[in-house]
């Protein structure tokens, strides 16, 4: 069994308790999980749907089922190149992460995603980040900013831009970050969260890492589905269908 010590995923700088509290208080108003509906929708679903039909449609859209073949891929990267599954044909597994720069929860996971990508690259695993937010709502996720951040942090993965949001729809992605792992045959073997807590000091299960360890070792994945949590993907208003 190949493993990575949990501490490898901790940020280089430990956030103070106050900073973490502020971070997740900010995220709370913008948070949606694959399981729990927003408070407004819970109170009056009809009113919430009328206010944001695109978000309502996304909430009802099913997530990709385990065992599903990876949908076709052809997206521009923040580096100006176009990427398809052909770019990952030799990978033992491919980790697809719907994420962004603007979400506080995604920010909290940035170092852990970078560590995961670097630590498993030598084991035949490749990672892809996909940004699907409407940039008119979240301008901090504009392509030039993705490119600058990628270069600054030396990401071990490319940032792809899903400007039509069709890829996110195909996956049933709900939040950032939302993790999907495809095995050697490019069938979905894991979907959900990276681990069970945005605060790295409180993590008890390294879900995505455990799935990758199983793939690398040729063993069955014990937990193939977990609940993703984070900021809701920001849908275009015309994307209600």
> What six digits make up the tokens of 20?
């973490």
Q: What whole-number percentage of the chain has pLDDT above 70?
A: 77
- pLDDT, one tens digit per residue, over 146-188 is 999 999 999 999 999 999 999 999 999 999 999 999 999 999 9
Domains of the chain by residue range: 7-232
DSSP 47: H
∠ Cα 72 99 151 (to 5°):
95
- Domain 7-232 falls in which CATH fold? Glutaredoxin (3.40.30)
CA-based nearest residue to 126, from 150, 102, 94, 96: 94
Give the pLDDT confidence of 116-146 residue by residue, as tens digits: 999 999 999 999 999 999 999 999 999 999 9
User: How high is the pLDDT of residue 94?
Assistant: 98
CB 83, CB 74: distance < 8 Å: yes
Pairing of strands 74-76, 82-84: antiparallel
């Amino acid at each position: 069994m190949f493993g990575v010590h949990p501490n490898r995923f901790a940020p280089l700088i430990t956030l103070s308790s106050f900073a973490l509290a502020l971070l997740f208080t900010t995220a709370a108003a913008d948070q949606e999980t694959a399981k729990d509906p927003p408070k407004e929708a819970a109170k009056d679903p009809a009113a919430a749907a009328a206010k944001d039909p695109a978000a309502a449609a996304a909430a009802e859209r099913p997530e990709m089922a385990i065992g599903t073949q990876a949908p076709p891929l052809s997206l521009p990267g923040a580096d100006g190149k176009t990427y398809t599954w052909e770019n990952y044909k030799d990978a033992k597994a491919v980790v697809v992460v719907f994420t962004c720069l603007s979400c506080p929860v995604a920010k909290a996971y940035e170092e852990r995603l970078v560590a995961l990508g670097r630590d498993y690259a030598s084991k035949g695993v490749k990672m892809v980040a996909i940004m699907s937010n409407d940039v008119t709502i979240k301008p901090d996720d504009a392509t030039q900013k993705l490119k600058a951040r990628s270069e600054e942090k030396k990401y071990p993965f490319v940032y792809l831009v899903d400007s039509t949001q069709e890829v996110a729809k195909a996956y049933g992605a709900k939040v950032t970050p939302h993790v999907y792992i495809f095995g050697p045959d490019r069938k979905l073997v894991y979907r959900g969260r990276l681990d069970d807590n945005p605060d790295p000091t409180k993590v008890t299960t390294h879900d995505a890492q455990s799935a990758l360890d199983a793939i690398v070792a040729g063993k069955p994945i014990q937990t193939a589905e977990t609940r993703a949590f984070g900021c809701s993907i920001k849908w275009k208003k015309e994307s209600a269908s």
